[in-house]
Amino acid sequence: MRFLFTALGLLTGLTLQAQTITLDACYDAARANYPLLKQKGIIQQSADLAVASLQTNRRLPQLAVNGQATWQSEVTKLPIELPNFQVPGISKDQYKLTLDASYTLYDGQLTQRQVAVQQATAASAQQQVEVELNRLKEQVNGLFLNALLADETIRINQAVMTDLQNRIGKVKAGVTFGTAAQMNADALQAEYLRADQRMADLTASRRGFRETLGLLTGLPVTDSTRLTVTPLPQAGALVVTRPELQLFKNQRLAYDAQEGLLDNRLKPRLSLFAQGGAGRPALNFLNNDFRGFFIGGLRLNWTISQAYTLRNDRQALALNRQAVDVQQAVFEKNLSVQLRQQQTEIDRIEAQIVKDADLVALRAKVRQAASVQLDNGVIAARDYTTELNNEVQALLNQKLHALQLLMARITYKTLTGN
C-alpha cells in the first residue's frame, strides 16, 4: 500500500523531531512525583530524632526535682527520760524537697541496643515504602504501552484515510466520465467517514493516556512527545532484585536487634547518684529544724526477675523470623510462577510475529489486486473496502503483537525488579 507506507514515513519523520521521553525516565519521574516518597524522609527524620534522644539521655545526667509533705500518726521517740532534760521530739508533719541526679556509668550497651532497634525498624519501614513505590511501574507500563498502541493505530488509520481519499478522487473522476458508478464513490466516502470517526475516538484515547501519564510522572507529555523504550536485556540475563527481598532481610535484622535488646535486660546497671535538698527532718531525724542535706554515691541495679520471661520472648522472636521466612518463600514461589508464565507469553507472541509479516504481505497483495479490479470496474467499492480493512487489520495485528511482545518483556523485567 504505497499511500499507507508514505504516510507512515512522514508521520514517523515528524515524530523524530519531537521531544523524546523514555520509559525509564517515566519510572524515575513517577517515583519522584509520587507523594509517598516523602514518607521515607519522614521515617528517617523520626528515627534520627529518636536516636538523638537516646544518645542525649545516655550522655547527660538525669535530673529530677521531688518534693513531699506528709503527716503521720506516729513518730519515732527515744525511750529515755532524764531529770531536768527535755528529750527533743519530731513533728508529725514532715517536709522534703530534693534535686536528684544520676549518671549511668555502665548500662550493658543498653543505649547501643536501643539505637540498633530504632535504626532497624526505620530501615524496614522505609523498605516498605520502596515496595509500594515499585508498584508505580505497573501503572506507568500500562499508560505508556497503551499510548504507544494508540500512536500506531492512529498512524495506520491516517494512512487508510489518505488512501481512501485518493481512491475517492479517482472514482469520482470515473463517475464524471461515466466509467464508474456513483454507488462506488458513495461506498468509499462512507468508509472514509467511518475512518474519520474512528480517528476522533483514537485521538481522544491517545490524549487521555498521555495526559494521565503526564499527571502521574509530572513530565510534559504532549501530543507531540515521542515515547520510546530503551533496548531490553534478554530475560535469562536478568537477576531478581525485587524490593520485597530487601524488606524481608530488613525485617530479620529488626528482629535480631530486638533480640540483642532482650539479652541486655539481664545485665546489671552501675550509676553515680547524688541527692541534695532541704527538709524537716533532714538526715538527722532527731533534729526537728528545716535543714539542708546532701547524699552521693554509687548505685548498682540488677533486675534478675527479667529472666522469668526471657525464654518466651526469645521464642516469640524466633516465631516472627519463621513467619518472615514463610512470607519470603510464598513470595518467591509466586514470583517464579509469574516469571514462567510471562516467559511462555513471550514465546507465544514471538511465534505469532513470525507469521505476521507473511500475512501482511499477502493481504497487501490481495488489496492491490482489488484496487486494480476496482479501477477496471470489475468489483464494487464495498469489495475493495473489505480487502482494505483486511489489510489494515493485519497491520494492526502486527503492530499489536509487536507492542504485546514489548509489554511482555517489560513486564518480565518489572517482575524481576529491574
Helix axes 38-59, 110-134, angle to 10 degrees: 180
In the numeric block, the cell 518463600 is attached to 329
The β-bridge partners of 298 are 272
Please tell me the predicted confidence (pLDDT) of residue 232. 79
| Average of per-residue pLDDT values in the chain | 87
Give the CB-side neighbour count of residue 71, counting CA atoms within 13 A. 0
257-261, 323-327, 389-393: which has the minimum mean pLDDT? 389-393
Q: What letter would DSSP give residue 16?
A: H
When mean pLDDT is compared over 316-330, 364-378, 384-398, the highest value belongs to: 316-330
Return the exposure string of 12-36: e unless at least 16 CB atoms fall within 10 Å of the residue's CB, then b. eeebeeeeebebeebbebbbeebee
Looking at the predicted structure, is the pLDDT value of residue 2 above 50? no
Please tell me the predicted confidence (pLDDT) of residue 137. 92
- pLDDT digits 0-9 by tens, 279-297: 988 888 778 888 999 999 9
Question: pTM for the complete prediction?
Answer: 0.78
Please tell me the predicted confidence (pLDDT) of residue 13. 47
Is the CATH number 1.20.1600.10 carried by domain 2-62+110-267+312-416?
yes
Looking at the predicted structure, is the pLDDT value of residue 15 above 60? no
Share of the chain above pLDDT 90, in %: 49
- pLDDT digits 0-9 by tens, 351-369: 999 888 889 888 888 888 8
Please tell me the predicted confidence (pLDDT) of residue 17. 53
| Integer Cα distance of 405 and 134 in angstroms | 22
Residue ranges per structural domain of the chain: 2-62+110-267+312-416
Mean pLDDT confidence for 152-156: 86
Cite the DSSP H helix spans in 61-181.
110-134, 136-176
Helix axes 182-217, 381-416, angle to 10 degrees: 20
| Integer Cα distance of 57 and 393 in angstroms | 74
